[in-house]
Amino acid sequence: MPDVLLLPGVPETEAASMVVDQLGPSVQARLVAQVREHWRHAPPARPHAVGGRAMHVKVSSAGRLAWWGDGKAYRYLRRQPGGAPLPPIPEFWVELWHRYTERDEPPDTALVNWYPADDPAASIGFHADRTEHDLTLPILTLNLGRARWAVRRQEGAPVSRCTLEPGAVVLLDGPTRLLEHSIERLVDYEDQLELGTAPPPAHPFVPYPSPLPNGRSRISITLRIAGDPAQALRVPGPGARITSPAEVPLSWDALESLSAEVARRFRPRS
């Protein structure tokens, strides 16, 4: 694949260690063009967090399933939130999935997040991705734009941070799959110089110019295998009503299984 920078080593911080590669400018431009074409068929919409608050990010989906939050629960839908059919995942995105996850099975959903430059609060709080059927399958994110990324093992645990440079490829897999992560803020390179967090010359990440018209905006493309939404593990918000087969409460058996998996992955290092 042309214009892909393979990193020579693993950065020291835990957050940065999940950045497995960096896509060059021409690949980033190709992804931005594909996102714009995707939005013609699936315009981004603003989901709501559990409790009803509008999120500071707009989302759109492709593939067999669409991630959505309606203020009551987070779940996967079989169509767009407005009822329109979902467009297919672009083949190039699927190629990148196979390249970085080394999985034969293709992703069944792609979530495109749009962090607009005109929203100073554009961010997403700490969360772990647990609405998929199989929590051991990887999640791959392609980062377009520049943002401050934070990772922790669980609430109250130490937080590791790094700047996601344009083109960063983030892989959550194995022991990192259930880590809590967040996008704290959008940044541009001048911000990093002021904060003293700009990568030094020897840093393996290249401070490419943002591929987006405004340097303080961000698009992320997240690929995963969500599986059967009727069997996925999910926790509806307080007082939520089950309104469709795709919104299934967490059974005691599923809760015990999830708790055991989380405990195993979050076991403190000796």
Q: Which of 52, 49, 53, 83 is nearest to 66 (CA)?
A: 83
For residue 4, name the pLDDT band (cuts at 50, 70, 90). Answer: very low
Sign of CA dihedral 248, 249, 252, 257: positive
Do the beta carbons of residue 246 and residue 234 sit within 8 Å?
A: no
Q: Which residues contact 223 (CB under 8 A, 6 or more apart)?
A: 89, 93, 94, 96, 97, 107, 109, 110, 139, 140, 141, 142
Enter the pTM of the model: 0.76
Q: Average pLDDT, stretch 199-213?
A: 63
pLDDT surpassing 80 at residue 270: no
Across the chain, mean pLDDT equals: 76
SS3 content of the chain, % helix, strand, coil (to 5): 20, 25, 50
pLDDT in tens, 37-71: 999 999 999 999 888 888 888 999 999 999 998 89
**Cα first-last separation, the chain:** 40
Do the beta carbons of residue 190 and residue 168 sit within 8 Å?
A: no
DSSP letter (8 states) at residue 154: S
Q: What is the share, in percent, of the chain residues with pLDDT greater than 70?
A: 71
Q: Which of 187, 49, 185, 175 is nearest to 121 (CA)?
A: 185
For residue 99, name the pLDDT band (cuts at 50, 70, 90). Answer: very high
Domains annotated for the chain, with CATH where assigned, are: 4-265 (2.60.120.590)
Q: Tokens standing for 139?
A: 């999640």
- pLDDT score at 246: 34
pLDDT in tens, 103-122: 999 999 999 999 887 776 77
pLDDT surpassing 60 at residue 196: no
